[in-house]
Structure 1
Amino acid sequence: MKKEIYNLEGIEIEVEKYDKADKEANRRRIAYCFKMIREKSGMSRTDFSLWLGVPYRTMQEWELGRRAMPEYVLRLIAYKVMNELREGRIG
């Protein structure tokens, strides 16, 4: 499969290219990006859910791709993580 770089508010994530009409592939891509953002923060799922104020179960479902996360939420989370990393508050 071909790969592409997906840039989320300064966090670059390499993902497989997918057909934009394939909603399942899009959900998997967003789930993978969310996991990479969490890992970049250096936090566990539990710590990350507390830090974001998102219920653990919701965050787990997003990360595993069992529940669709809106892309704008992913971008907001990436923005928050990047700002906190820049300011040295996490990581």
Structure 2
Amino acid sequence: METADKIRELRERTGMTRKDFAMHIGIPLRTVEDWEAGRRRPPEYIPRLISYQLRYEELMKKMEEETNAGKE
């Protein structure tokens, strides 16, 4: 999978717009747009790092939901 496709797939999985996604991961909007369009290529570790961040956030959300469900 091309880097541009991987970045787009990660963003689309979140359901975020490019602007929201860029703000969420702390990358300038123009950079995210350029990555997705294939005009620029991020370092190899960036898609992996974003993926780890999103998975971590999913895990933390799930743990929080389980904790809150246990309190009821």
**TM-score for the superposition, normalised by structure 1:** 0.63
Q: Note if 1:42 corresponds to 2:15.
A: yes
- Give the corresponding residue for 2:57: 84
- Give the corresponding residue for 1:65: 38
Partners of 2:27 and 2:49 in 1: CA distance: 13
How far residue 51 of structure 1 moved from its aligned partner, in angstroms, is: 0.7
Partners of 2:26 and 2:11 in 1: CA distance: 14
Q: Note if 1:56 corresponds to 2:8.
A: no
Q: State, as a whole percentage, how many aligned pairs show the same letter.
A: 40
Between stretches 68-77 and 80-89, larger displacement belongs to 80-89
Q: Which runs of 5+ in 2 are unaligned?
A: 63-72
Q: Which runs of 5+ in 1 are unaligned?
A: 1-14, 16-28
RMSD: 1.4
What is the DSSP-based 3-state SS (H/G/I as helix, E as strand, rest coil) of the residue aligned with 1:81? helix
Partners of 1:52 and 1:76 in 2: CA distance: 10
Higher helix share: 2
Poorly superposed stretches of 4+, deviation over 6 Å: none
